[in-house]
Chains A and B, each alone.
Chain A
Amino acid sequence: AQSVTQLDSQVPVFEEAPVELRCNYSSSVSVYLFWYVQYPNQGLQLLLKYLSGSTLVKGINGFEAEFNKSQTSFHLRKPSVHISDTAEYFCAVSVRGHDKIIFGKGTRLHILP
């Protein structure tokens, strides 16, 4: 069965500094990978996804993620964060051809002024 590990429960970072949110997955077969964002008191929305092809995926709001099959990772990055990026970020995995989508425990991004 697939699983997702988000290594950091909280990440503080100064405004305009770069940030990386880490995600590792476990699966013996090919997967699809996703990052979702949840702003305070809202539902979740898709930030970006990796299905196949280029391992560097660009998403909304300047975020990008890189799929690394050998390290089974899908880390999320942004070169310069803004106060509006304050949110909780969830990594998710789905096995190709299957319907289950499993989420990690989330990482809270705190932007410091």
Chain B
Amino acid sequence: DAGITQSPRHKVTETGTPVTLRCHQTENHRYMYWYRQDPGHGLRLIHYSYGVKDTDKGEVSDGYSVSRSKTEDFLLTLESATSSQTSVYFCAISARDRGQTGELFFGEGSRLTVL
């Protein structure tokens, strides 16, 4: 167990509403990531963070924003959800800052449905 908790695990919302997904870690790692998983697309990087208040865009960042105000929490926000954002969202942490280069530890995923 890598000490990663995602919430909510399941959410159904309507088009146009804001949604925030939370990723919480107990490992005190610097690097945190948000991916979305869709059939036929695999995992695509949305945003990642390399420290408190330090974030960068991934492959599919449009329509998403993130915040990292403290080491343990990485929030993903959909300002105005669309049906194309229906997906399973995975948070991951990297042990890169402790010499375990590149290995990611994943949360259990958050399934979001936008009607």
| A interface list, Cβ under 8 A from B | 6, 9, 32, 34, 36, 42-46, 49, 51, 90, 92, 94, 99-106
Contacts and interface: CB of A to CB of B under 8 A. Distances in A.
A103 B42 contact: yes
A52 B102 CA distance: 12
Nearest to A42: B108
Main secondary structure of the interface of B (DSSP, over half): strand
Interface residues of B, number: 26
Interface string B47-80: 0101000001011000000000000000000000
B11 interface: no
Most buried by B among A34, A43, A51, A103: A43
Nearest to B44: A103
Nearest to B35: A103
4 closest residue pairs by CB, A with B: A105-B42, A103-B43, A43-B106, A106-B42
